[in-house]
Amino acid sequence: MKIPYRDLSVSDCNLRSELLQAVDRVLSHGKIVLGPETEEFERKIAQFCKRKYAVGLCSGTTALYFALRSLDVGPGVQVVTTPLSWIATLNAVALCGAQPVFVDIKEDLNINVDLIEDAITEKTKVILPVHFTGKLCNMPQITEIAKKYNLHVIEDAAQSFGACDNGIMAGSFGDIGCFSMNPMKVLNAYGEAGVAVTDSEIIYRKLISLRYLGTINKENCLYPSYNGKIDTIQAAMLLVNLKYLSKKIKSRREIAGFYTQSLKDIVVCPQDNKTNHVYYLYTILAPSRDELKQYLFSRGIETQIHHPKLMPNNTAYQYLPKFNMPVAEDLIGKILCLPNQETLTLKETRYVVECIKDFYGGS
Ligand SMILES: *Cc1c(COP(=O)(O)O)cnc(C)c1O
């Protein structure tokens, strides 16, 4: 049996024809830039997240960068975040010229909220938690700390669209929530896409300007920025996928539940099925991780390591001071992501489990 980590082709005929029709409509009306589908997408996303405003952007990285810029994060400002995320999180901070401050993680791979207060200084302006793997951080506690120290919260919710805690959606705890809808994400486009959500009209207006090179009405540029708009074609296709999101998340939770049930006595598994997790990644903490990865590959199963390095340990960030993050340093050598795309069959997930059992049983 061959199980790829991910397969981005659209095999469902009905879905494919809906997507093609959506593209066709955009080609027909010709409003290719910020067309009606963009507005509808923003309205639906804001509604879904229970926020006042959503701004469609060209990527999740752009959403993070613009979110920071909209709060005037720049040189001399510190941003408290986690060391374990896709490098986009740190790049966004660095591109603003701000200083990242890393707080260690817990075994659930999210920021250890109990350590945040120690990292706050008079230069801190923003806490930037990442809902890593699609699981929400402890947001009630983070927002409490932010309030106490008068800080802003930007959620890197790139992996967690659709997760919720007590009815509060990912991206709606902080001042700004940032999502990626790149082709790998649970709610995916077929190209690059992202969105930022907020309740603040001031932030909303700034984001609208930032995505259009810092201009107002294309007339006057207030501050240098990029072209960061979402494509109408991607918005149109995202509207189609949004309809099927809850079904997709349900399937992912079922796969996760099966993995956890079958593997929990052999490896460390993420916490069990709850609404606070959409399983963008299904990550196990595996002893002899590299050997397991190789063994699974030899049996036709592709796995991935998200990520091989903590963000500050990348070459670009050698200039940063050293941070105390022993848990992250330890777990980075054990994490392994199993295939968990919603299209996997029970037969396939059983095979993955069987091979992992074979590996540990035989060693
Ligand atoms: C995917 C991702 C991003 C960046 O999103 P892009 O749309 O690829 O730019 C940022 N942060 C995290 C945690 C991500 O997983």
Would the CB of 155 count as within 6 Å of ligand 1?
no
Closest Cα to atom 2, ligand 1: which residue? 158
Distance CA 266, CA 252 (A): 21
pLDDT band for position 362 (cuts 50, 70, 90): low
> Does residue 354 carry a pLDDT above 80?
yes
Q: How far is the CA of 113 from the centre of ligand 1 (A)?
A: 22
Question: In which region does residue 298 sit, left (phi positive, over 0), alpha (psi from -120 to 50) or beta (all else)?
Answer: alpha
Question: Would the CB of 194 count as within 6 Å of ligand 1?
Answer: yes
| Cβ(89) – ligand 1 distance below 6 Å | yes
* Cβ(189) – ligand 1 distance below 6 Å: no
Predicted confidence at residue 38, as pLDDT, reads 98
Distance 333 CA to ligand 1 centre (A): 22
Phi, psi torsion values for 84, nearest 5 degrees: -105, 100
Does residue 156 line the site of ligand 1, with CB under 6 A? yes
Q: Which residues contact 170 (CB under 8 A, 6 or more apart)?
A: 49, 131, 136, 155, 157, 160, 161, 162, 163, 164, 177, 278
Taking the centre of ligand 1 as the mean of its atom positions, its distance from the CA of residue 230, in whole angstroms, is 15
Ligand 1 contact via 180 beta carbon (within 6 Å): yes
User: Mean pLDDT across the stretch 270-277?
Assistant: 77
Q: For residues 248 and 253, what is the distance between their CA atoms, to the nearest angstrom? A: 9
194 Cα nearest atom in ligand 1? 7
HEC states along the chain?
CCECCCCCCCCCHHHHHHHHHHHHHHHHHCCCECCHHHHHHHHHHHHHHCCCEEEEECCHHHHHHHHHHHCCCCCCCEEEECCCCCCHHHHHHHHCCCEEEECCECCCCCECHHHHHHHCCCCEEEEECECHHHECCCHHHHHHHHHHHCCEEEEECCCCCCCEECCEECCCCCCEEEEECCCCCCCCCCCCCEEEEECCHHHHHHHHHHCECCEECCCEECCCCCECECEHHHHHHHHHHHHCHHHHHHHHHHHHHHHHHHHCCCCECCCCCCCCECCCCEEEECCCHHHHHHHHHHCCECCECCCCCCHHHCHHHCCCCCCCCHHHHHHCCCEEEECCCCCCCHHHHHHHHHHHHHHHHHC
State whether the beta carbon of 110 lies less than 6 angstroms from ligand 1: no
Phi, psi of 301 (to 5 degrees): -105, 120
pLDDT band per the 50, 70, 90 thresholds, residue 274: confident
Q: Which two tokens stand for residue 71?
A: 């709060």
pLDDT at position 325 is 97
Are 149 and 129 within 8 A, CB to CB? no
Residue 161 has pLDDT above 80, yes or no: yes
| Cβ neighbours around 9 below 10 Å, total | 6
Going from the Cα of 200 to the center of ligand 1, the distance in angstroms, rounded, reads 23
- Is the pTM higher than 0.75? yes
**CB of 328 closer than 6 angstroms to any ligand 1 atom:** no
Q: Which atom of ligand 1 is nearest to the CA of 130?
A: 13
265 Cα: distance to centroid of ligand 1 (angstroms): 32
- Interval 183-211 mean pLDDT: 98
Computed over every residue of the chain, the mean pLDDT equals 96
Q: pLDDT tens digits, residue range 39-91?
A: 999 999 999 999 999 999 999 999 999 999 999 999 999 999 999 999 999 99
Q: How far is the CA of 259 from the centre of ligand 1 (A)?
A: 25
Tens digits of per-residue pLDDT, 245-272?
Answer: 999 999 999 999 999 999 999 999 887 6
Does residue 340's CB lie within 6 angstroms of at least one atom of ligand 1? Answer: no
> What pLDDT is recorded for position 273?
56
Residue 86 Cβ contacting ligand 1 at under 6 Å: yes
Q: Say if ligand 1 is within 6 A of residue 198 CB.
A: no
- CB-side exposure of 114: number of CA atoms within 13 Å? 2
Give the torsion sign (CA, 341, 347, 353, 356).
negative
